[in-house]
Copies of this chain bind each other. A is one copy, B any other.
Amino acid sequence: MDEFELIKKYFSPLEKLDNSVIVPNGDDAAVISLPEGKSIAFSVDTLVEGVHFLPSANPEVIGFRSAAVNLSDMAAMGAEPRHSLLSLVIPNNNEGWLRNFSMGLGECLDKYNCSLLGGNTARGPLAISLTIVGYVSGSPLTRAGAKIGDTILVSGTLGDASGALGILNKTPLDADEKFLVGRYERPIARINLSTHLLGIANSAIDISDGLLADAGHIAAASDVGIDLLASSIPISSSLSRVYTEKEALEFALNGGDDYELIYTVPQEALAEAHAMAAKVGIKLTKIGTVTEGSHVRCLSGENQDIILKTKGYKHF
């Protein structure tokens, strides 16, 4: 089966056509029209075998995560994902792998009503690069909008996916471990929450490199300092049952696979932010404050020990 047949069999079904698609998959480029009053967000992210996942990883999980980590970037802008392009570098034409990969990819794209509108394949060491195109209504959420005095809110719980990394291949898993592994294998992009916080939050970022590192990106882009309180960081009961308090905090501060979002919200909009979060069924937790400065610091329990931004995922 050559590239064209392979794409047709496994990836064409992931395309969803609507009246914005002028030229679909299969031509030199896809062409779409843009609904009035919207702007376009686009981003690309890449997963490489041996770096972002092990050679033994389940292709369905790789497929799901390829989409989820990219969709999370759309969430961080307050964009609605609509279209995607896949660049797939694969060492060979392993049909079983492709079927499972495309199932996982399709499962995730489907959840967010996102279409696969094109792409290409090449032979080489396994790497998956997905470009997402989304629509934004009004002003996007950026990293650069944080204001001194803003409250820092985080969605969901942190550290779960990092807690899963050491037990991915363990069998059997108890219920708590299953929860953690699920958080790693099927991360949720907070699209719906973010589109509801457009015009309410001053800034946002998704936690892909770790809470401290990504808070640092907001601090740098917004020219502010960030004070976090360790005791307020939301830890799931599963994580706290499987690991010690110290381990769980370390995962929550420096682990990067949860794809939860940080928002900074001005005081006067806090009630509305919480109301919106309740409306979409997601818990937002206050974990800190935007201050003067350029630091990220995390005060531990007694407000005395300070954990400075130190680690976080380094791409090189």
Which A residues are within 8 Å of any B CB, using their own CB? 1-3, 6, 22-23, 26-34, 39-52, 73-74, 76-77, 79, 83, 85-87, 89, 92-93, 117-125, 127, 129, 131-134, 136, 139-140, 142-144, 204-206, 221, 314-316
Contact = CB atoms under 8 A, between A and B. Distances in A.
A291 B31 CA distance: 27
B2 A120 contact: no
Contacts of A3: 314-316
A85 B221 CA distance: 20
A49 B123 CA distance: 10
A85 B44 CA distance: 7
A26 B2 CA distance: 38
Q: From DSSP, what is the main secondary structure of chain A's interface residues?
A: strand
Contacts of A139: 22
Contact of A28 (B49, B76, B87): B76
A200 B170 CA distance: 62
A92 B316 CA distance: 7
Contacts of A27: 76-77, 142-144, 221
A95 to B, nearest CB: 11
Contacts of A121: 315-316
Contact of A51 (B29, B83, B123, B142): B123
B28 A42 contact: no
A132 to B, nearest CB: 8
- Residue among A22, A131, A133 with most chain B CB within 10 A: A131
A43 B206 contact: no
How many copies the complex holds: the figure is: 2
A120 B45 contact: yes
B120 A29 contact: no
Contacts of A1: 316
A221 B24 CA distance: 12
A31 B28 CA distance: 23
Contact of A44 (B79, B87, B124, B316): B87
13 contacts: A1-B316, A3-B316, A26-B143, A28-B76, A28-B77, A31-B40, A43-B118, A45-B87, A48-B89, A49-B124, A51-B123, A120-B315, A125-B127
Contacts of A77: 23, 27-29, 31
A52 B87 CA distance: 14
- Residue among A42, A92, A136 with most chain B CB within 10 A: A42
Contact of A206 (B26, B28, B42, B85): B28
Given A29-B140, A87-B87, 5 more contacts: A22-B39, A27-B144, A40-B40, A44-B118, A125-B125
